[in-house]
Amino acid sequence: MIDTNCPIMSWNVRGLNSPAWRAVVNETAETHKLALLCLQETKIGEWSRSLVREVCGARLADCVVLPATGTRGGAAIFWDRSRVEVQSHTIGRFSITAKITLAASTTSFWMTTVYGPVDDGRKDDFLAELARTSPAPSDPWLINDDFNLIYKARDKNNNNINHRIMGKFRAAIDIAGLEEIKCKNRKFTWSNERASPTLVSIDKFFRN
């Protein structure tokens, strides 16, 4: 939430190939009267205008998308043009960054939505992209959501941790001057849903 005129939602939807699930996203966006909606893991390789409307309705009809690779990944930012203006944007391998200006004021900020790679072999590339994406320190920056990384051990409920990558993520956060906007109603955001589950907090909001 930037202010009362700009409610933002970020949501790892884990695939939008089901019409019923697209209807849930549409209904949620309308219920909360969102100005900005960031989606990750869309698993959509090609977007059409009709698909955009099916997912987000007529209000959030403007969008920037990062297509999925096959059935993996994908991200999108949707916005209500009566409340915000997207002045520019860039699309990377793992992220979308847009410069947002609120229609009700002259306030501008950068927003990045990410879907980090699951496999460790591409995480260095992901962190390098985040470093390139970082705006000037004087520019407000909001970054979300599914990093598929942790930067502190307590973000996972077991000791199966890649400390090298965790340290690199923490260093990247420090260099960018980012601080986490804490989730208030849960400790973990992902589970492998087994009898003795692995629980991890990988979906996050940061700000500079």
* Average pLDDT for the chain: 92
Position 82 in a domain: yes
Q: Is the pTM of this model over 0.85?
A: yes
Q: Tell me, what's the pLDDT at 183?
A: 85
Higher pLDDT, 64 or 192: 64
What residues form DSSP beta bridges with 79?
36, 62
pLDDT of residue 90: 95
Look up the CATH number of the domain holding residue 86: 3.60.10.10
Query: In total, how many domains does the chain have?
Result: 1
List, for residues 35-88, the tens digit of each pLDDT value: 999 999 999 999 999 999 999 999 998 999 999 988 889 999 999 999 999 989
User: How many percent of the chain have pLDDT more than 70?
Assistant: 98
Rounded Cα gap, residues 86 and 6, in angstroms: 13
Residue 2, domain member (yes or no) = no
Structural domain includes residue 3 = no
Domain contains 76 = yes
Q: Show the domain range for 34.
A: 8-207
How much is the pLDDT for 1? 40
In a domain, 174, yes or no: yes
- Is residue 129 over pLDDT 70? yes
Q: Is residue 25 part of a domain?
A: yes
Indicate the Cα dihedral angle 130, 83, 40, 61, nearest 10°.
-130
Closest-CA residue to 176 (of 148, 136, 205): 136
- pLDDT tens column, 76-101: 999 999 999 998 999 999 999 999 99
